[in-house]
Structure 1
Amino acid sequence: MSEETAGILEGAVPPARNPHLYGHQTAEDFLARSYRSGKGHHAILIEGPEGIGKATLAFRFANHVLSHPDPATAPDHLTDPDLNSSVSRQIASGASHNLLHLARPVDEKTGKTKTAITVDEVRRAGHFFSQTSGTGNWRIVIIDPADDLNRNAANAILKILEEPPRRALFLVLSHAPGKLLPTIRSRCQSLRLSPLGDSDLAKALAGLGTPLDGGKMEEMVLRMSKGSVSQALKLLNYGGTEIISAFEEVVAADGPTARKAMHRLADVLSGKDSEVIFGFFLEHLGDHLIDKARNAALAGDLPTADRQAKLVSDMTEKITIAQAYNLDRKQTILSILEAARR
């Protein structure tokens, strides 16, 4: 597994190789016009929910800049990359000397993606700029996502953002910008992307060879994915719809029936190669608890609202501890499910 393909879902196309983007024409036009003006910001914070096209937009804009190094003669709009051009081929293969993609690295020993972007990865940016400083070309760094920077890495990035090299462009991606260092946010120009509408989501899935076939399944995917292509792929290709149904059974059942349902679900979520669907379940459970807290608050039942909100933080803490100490995942899941049923 290469770092360029690590974390890519089944049925998805790595953003560096994806020639199509749906639903973000306004953002594309803004970036193109800003670049052409010659007054564009050196750091763009591209923010929005996970899986809606932020990374694809970043690589698409990087391709535009490197294909048109003189802003004054660049088109005022972005076009689909020419996959046969030398710029596009270099970007797609990760071989561009003018583009650096910072993401969570792959652990060489385990073959798994590490849990954070470390300061060692950020040092690559310093080396990248020193190696290309005499070329006069644009140098672009995509941080994907900045949410994964650990504290030391975030501080190291901040130093570069405070004194950016000449003709440097940072495309900083974030699913949750409120969690970033305020000083990083203040050094960037914010560009917020919205979740995809149903039509654009359907087009994106069809473009990936996973067309929606109508009926109740399509309705469920559109509703549960919340405008995210990655969520839709988890529902369609990773058994996400079955996980949701199994969780609903756990919530609705009582006594021994509930216990059996909990064990069946925990077995699936703790099985081999279950990382993607386990993460999907945690997101769904978090949303479920937050919705219960919100509904309780709206009904004036503040004790219940507080209890449900606390369950979210307790769940996060349990998962963090279980991962840090390599505890039995099935038992952790059973504990979480038991708490969620109360």
Structure 2
Amino acid sequence: MSEETAGILDGAVPPARNPHLYGHRSAEDFLARSYRSGKGHHAILIEGPEGIGKATLAFRFANHVLTHPDPEAAPDHLSDPDPNSPVSRQIASGASHNLLHLTRPVDEKTGKAKTAITVDEVRRAGHFFSQTSGTGNWRIVIIDPADDLNRNAANAILKILEEPPRRALFIVLSHAPGKLLPTIRSRCQSLKLSPLSDEDLSKALAGLGMPLEGGRTEEIVLSMGKGSVAQALKLLNYGGTEIIAAFNEVIAADGPTARKAMHRLADVLSGKESDVIFGFFLEHLSDYLVARAREAAFAGDLPAADRQARLVSDIAEKITVAQAYNLDRKQTILSILEAARR
């Protein structure tokens, strides 16, 4: 597994190879016009929820810049990449000498992506710029996502952003920009993307060969997909709808029935190759608890709202500790479920 395909969900197309983007025409037009003006910022921070097309937009814009290296001669809009052009082929294969994609590296022992983008990865950017400094070409670095930079890596990126090389462009992606160093945010031009509309989400899924054909499945995907292709794929291809149903059963049941339901759900979430669905479950659980806290607050029960809000933090801490010390996942899940039922 390469870094370009690590973390790609079943049914998805790696952003570097994705020829289509849905729902972000205004953002595309902004980037194209900004580049054509010759006054575009050297660092663009593309913000928005995970799975709505930020990385695909980043690669589309990189393709646009490398295809039209003279800003004044560039079109005022982004087009679908031409799969037969040398630039598109090089980007799709990860072989472009003018584009560097910084993401979490793959652990050679496990074949999985590591938990953070390290300073060693950022040093690749320094090497990249030194190798290409004499070509006169645009040099583009996509940081995907910057949320995964550890502290040392973030500081190293900051130094490059403070004194960017000539004809260098940084495209910084973030699912949660509030977690970024304020100094990184301040050196980037922010471009916020919104979740996809139901229509655009349906088009994106159809483009992946998974058209929504009405019925209960479409209703669930559109209501719980949060305008995110990634979220929809987890619902469709990873058993997300079944996980939600099982969690609802845990919450609604009592006594021995609840205990059995908890163990069934914990067995699924702690099984082999369950990382994606486990992450999906944690996100759903957080949403559930936040909704309960909000309901309690609106009802005027501030102590209950405070308990639910604290529970979100407590569960996040449990997960952090369990992962840091490689604790038994099933027991951790059972503990979390027990806390959520209170």
TM range, smaller chain: over 0.9
The question of 1:8 aligning with 2:8 is answered yes
Matching residue of 1:138: 138
Matching residue of 2:76: 76
The question of 1:332 aligning with 2:332 is answered yes
Deviations 1:283-327 (A, max 9, x none): 000000011111111111111111111111111111111111111
Q: CA deviation at 1:112?
A: 1.2
Provide the aligned C-alpha RMSD in A: 0.4
The question of 1:99 aligning with 2:99 is answered yes
Q: CA deviation at 1:66?
A: 0.1
| Distance in 2 between residues matched to 1:79 and 1:4, nearest whole Å | 22
Find the residue that maps to 1:272 and give its secondary structure: coil
The question of 1:90 aligning with 2:113 is answered no
Find the residue that maps to 2:135 and give its secondary structure: coil
The question of 1:186 aligning with 2:162 is answered no
- Whichever residue aligns with residue 201 of structure 1, its letter is L
| Distance in 2 between residues matched to 1:9 and 1:71, nearest whole Å | 35
Find the residue that maps to 2:166 and give its secondary structure: coil
- Whichever residue aligns with residue 109 of structure 1, its letter is K
| Distance in 2 between residues matched to 1:15 and 1:221, nearest whole Å | 22
Matching residue of 1:263: 263
Matching residue of 2:200: 200
- Whichever residue aligns with residue 120 of structure 2, its letter is D
- Whichever residue aligns with residue 193 of structure 2, its letter is L
Q: CA deviation at 1:220?
A: 0.7
Gaps of 5+ in 2: none
Deviations 1:72-127 (A, max 9, x none): 00000000000111000000000000000000000011111100000000000000
| Distance in 2 between residues matched to 1:186 and 1:118, nearest whole Å | 22
Q: CA deviation at 1:236?
A: 0.2
Find the residue that maps to 2:32 and give its secondary structure: helix
What are the within-5 Å matches in structure 2 for residues 84-233 of structure 1? 84-233=84-233
| Distance in 2 between residues matched to 1:262 and 1:338, nearest whole Å | 8
Find the residue that maps to 2:72 and give its secondary structure: helix
Q: CA deviation at 1:332?
A: 0.1
| Distance in 2 between residues matched to 1:299 and 1:161, nearest whole Å | 47
| Distance in 1 between residues matched to 2:293 and 2:179, nearest whole Å | 22
- Whichever residue aligns with residue 190 of structure 1, its letter is S
Gaps of 5+ in 1: none
Find the residue that maps to 1:246 and give its secondary structure: helix
Find the residue that maps to 1:271 and give its secondary structure: coil
| Distance in 2 between residues matched to 1:238 and 1:164, nearest whole Å | 42
- Whichever residue aligns with residue 208 of structure 1, its letter is L
Aligned residues: 342
Matching residue of 1:279: 279
Matching residue of 1:237: 237
The question of 1:291 aligning with 2:298 is answered no
Q: CA deviation at 1:217?
A: 1.1
| Distance in 2 between residues matched to 1:3 and 1:304, nearest whole Å | 44
The question of 1:44 aligning with 2:44 is answered yes
Find the residue that maps to 1:282 and give its secondary structure: helix
Find the residue that maps to 2:221 and give its secondary structure: helix
- Whichever residue aligns with residue 338 of structure 2, its letter is E
Deviations 1:154-205 (A, max 9, x none): 0000000000000000000000101100000000000000000000000000
Find the residue that maps to 1:196 and give its secondary structure: coil
| TM-score between the two structures when normalised by the length of structure 2 | 1.00
Q: CA deviation at 1:213?
A: 1.6
Deviations 1:208-242 (A, max 9, x none): 01111201110111010110000000000000000
| TM-score between the two structures when normalised by the length of structure 1 | 1.00
Find the residue that maps to 1:263 and give its secondary structure: helix
